[in-house]
Structure 1
Amino acid sequence: MSEQNEHGLSVGISRVNNDFFLQLKVTGKLTHDDYQTFIPLLENALGGVNNPQINALVDCLALEGWELRAAWDDFKLGLKHGSEFKKIAIVGNKPWEQWAAKIGSWFIHGEMAYFENREEALNWLGS
């Protein structure tokens, strides 16, 4: 029997006026195809909105990593939409995720912080 590795992005997007709340749960090793599904969802939600402001909660507890091409997709997403993010809270449990959050903060205009607790991340996003 072949083993199947679950991977992908679960996405939730809510909006009040120009303010968006984006929730992402990442699972397994992210692929280019995962981003090909996610990016149009985000861009459709932001479409036609002048100066959207995004707060994001990214749950990386089940993240195992990225394919190289998926990491490039993530980088391009940051360059294209980085000015629209007010705050990004990364929830994880691996030391490299904390470093990834620090590096990611170089590519957005808002704030990015790493948490090991979801409630602390939500409190920070709401402050």
Structure 2
Amino acid sequence: MSAEHHGVSVGLERSNSGVLLSLHVRGKLTHEDYEAIVPMLESAIAGEENPKIDVFMNAVEMEGWEPRAAWDDLKLGLKHGRHFNRVAVVGSKRWLELMTRAGSLMIGGEARYFENEESAMAWLNIKKAA
């Protein structure tokens, strides 16, 4: 019997240039994941006149979205899409690359798919901790 692992690790950093949302996704994203992520993100941008959000998403272990989570993702994009500056998605699956391109149409900035973390971090101008 094997255990199914699922979850999302979330990091938020604020700077003068905006907010960096870091996600590491394992398994399928769920509605419960969005119930945790969205309030954190909204709290981070609260009070900002024109918030700017960059996203680093490690989705190498991601297997997709549950239907309700896909709806949550759409609602997040509709509500805050104009605030997203750059979204870097790291993965190894063709469907994820296609979803990244489609998602780019819903945000005010740009979303790109990468096959390695270093390229994604360089594009976002993130320095890796030593």
Q: TM-score, normalised to structure 1's length? A: 0.93
What's the counterpart of residue 114 of structure 1?
113
SS where residue 82 of structure 1 aligns? helix
What's the counterpart of residue 31 of structure 1?
30
Letter in 2 for 1:63: M
CA offset digits 1:86-127 (Å, max 9, x no partner):
100010000100000011011001011000010000111129
Offset of residue 8 of structure 1: 2.1
What's the counterpart of residue 13 of structure 2?
14
CA distance in 1, matches of 2:100, 2:52: 19
CA distance in 2, matches of 1:79, 1:126: 26
CA offset digits 1:28-74 (Å, max 9, x no partner):
11111111111111111111122111111111001011111100101
CA distance in 2, matches of 1:72, 1:94: 21
**Structure 1 unaligned blocks of 5 or more:** none
What's the counterpart of residue 48 of structure 2?
49
**Structure 2 unaligned blocks of 5 or more:** none
- Equivalent residues of 1:18, 1:50 under 8 A apart: no
Greater than 6 Å deviation, 4+ residue runs: none
CA distance in 2, matches of 1:62, 1:50: 35
* Equivalenced residues, count: 126
CA distance in 2, matches of 1:19, 1:25: 20
